[in-house]
Chains A and B, each alone.
Chain A
């Protein structure tokens, strides 16, 4: 099993390929629809983002609340394509990775390739299991958004599959090509 640690650098990213199963450890930041909108609005105003995204990974997720004594509630990926319109801008500013579910748009994939980034896919419907890989969690921005706030999470061996690699290869397309060739 391939293991990677955040923050990500080019060498690490170029070493993994679409379809690889990977375990992610280290800090990632949650961001969904509304946080993305606010990121882009802040950049338009010329403001700094509330987090330094250079080399970082965004996890498209909004967790369930933590029970007393627990780090976090159930947490799993939301549909990535809703974030596609915002992705090229964030990648051009140094974002290196994303965790979500489902295929990406052509423009998002192009930006992933151009910026040597990576898109990782986690299993939807396994949020209780995935929550066990979160060792630390705190809200770092947009607390008013509730479950859509930006959380800083520390992951340990969080299981993903590489959806789009830094060469722009898309596993969702690759496996369907393989199938049609049969």
Chain B
């Protein structure tokens, strides 16, 4: 059994929160630069150029890419031969979030009671934590700060098996159309297909973690990703929602087996400031 002190976890979460908030993901930056080759609208091009200049300023001056520094999604893939010592895993993660949002001058956007009080917790905790057990003796820590605008237009829907690929396509297109300018386009669209009502949303979020310039390994799904991107970019929403060709930079699909009676789908938007960072302990 390999022992890892929870203080290591706190330290890594703190580092990753700051790193992800200051540095636009290289795959997103690359896709933005490439998108200038196809964007024809003048305002659309201005918006993309602003987003690229913003990423350069944020990185060099150590400023958050977006004022909405998000609620922190933390995904831990824990090798089952690892034993955490010195405290509780969840407390260690939240301590890392708390420290980074203070030391990194990041905006605290989490409220306690969701329905009535809605009082800011003051330190951006708690994080949204997912734990997964995997073989081995290492721990992968993935941090993804997620803003409110892109979450608010995201959708989970229980399709039926007969809806098939056509139903998947029309659902994603409808959701993208309704989202309009609100998730800060050019967006990345994470699509989860399969699993269960609760797990399909996580699948869609996980899809956003995959390099956006790489397609699904299954050719049928990679074809679906490519044709969905083309149709979404024909909607005309464009950068900043102000019209143009580049509404989305990529569609990433992730799948999981599901019940024979079900076809769950989730669409989770990543804004143009899609952020994540990871490290192995």
Contacts and interface: CB of A to CB of B under 8 A. Distances in A.
Interface of A: 19, 21, 34, 61-67, 73-76, 78-79, 81, 101-103, 121, 123-132, 145-148, 159, 161, 171-172, 175-176, 178-179
B contact patch SS:
loop
B61 to A, nearest CB: 7
Contacts of A159: 50
B66 A127 contact: yes
Contact of A128 (B57, B122, B148): B57
B120 A129 contact: no
27 contacts: A19-B43, A63-B107, A64-B105, A67-B105, A73-B67, A73-B107, A75-B67, A78-B149, A79-B149, A101-B184, A101-B240, A102-B180, A103-B181, A121-B242, A123-B50, A124-B181, A125-B65, A128-B64, A128-B65, A129-B53, A132-B57, A145-B120, A146-B108, A147-B67, A172-B180, A175-B236, A175-B243
A74 B63 contact: yes
Contact of A102 (B47, B65, B69, B181): B181
A132 B58 CA distance: 11
B106 interface: yes
B181 A62 contact: no
Interface in B168-215: 180-182, 184
A62 B242 contact: no
B273 interface: yes
Given A73-B105, A161-B43, A172-B242, 15 more contacts: A21-B43, A62-B68, A64-B63, A64-B67, A64-B69, A73-B67, A74-B107, A78-B149, A101-B182, A102-B182, A102-B241, A124-B184, A126-B54, A147-B109, A178-B243
A123 B51 contact: yes
A124 to B, nearest CB: 4
A159 B182 CA distance: 18
Nearest to B271: A125
Contacts, number: 137
B272 interface: yes
B152 interface: yes
4 closest A-B pairs by beta carbon, nearest first, are A175-B243, A124-B184, A129-B54, A128-B58
A125 B273 contact: yes
Contacts of A130: 54
Contact of A76 (B67, B118, B148, B181): B67
A103 B120 contact: no
Contact of A74 (B64, B120, B182): B64
Contacts of B64: 64, 73-74, 127-128
Contacts of A63: 67, 107
A125 B105 contact: no
Nearest to B186: A125
A38 B160 CA distance: 45
Contacts of A123: 47, 50-51, 240
A178 B243 CA distance: 10
B46 interface: yes
A81 B43 CA distance: 21
Contacts of B57: 128-129, 132
Given A78-B68, A78-B149, A128-B54, A146 B120 contact: yes
A65 B240 CA distance: 24
Contacts of B58: 74, 128
Nearest to A175: B243
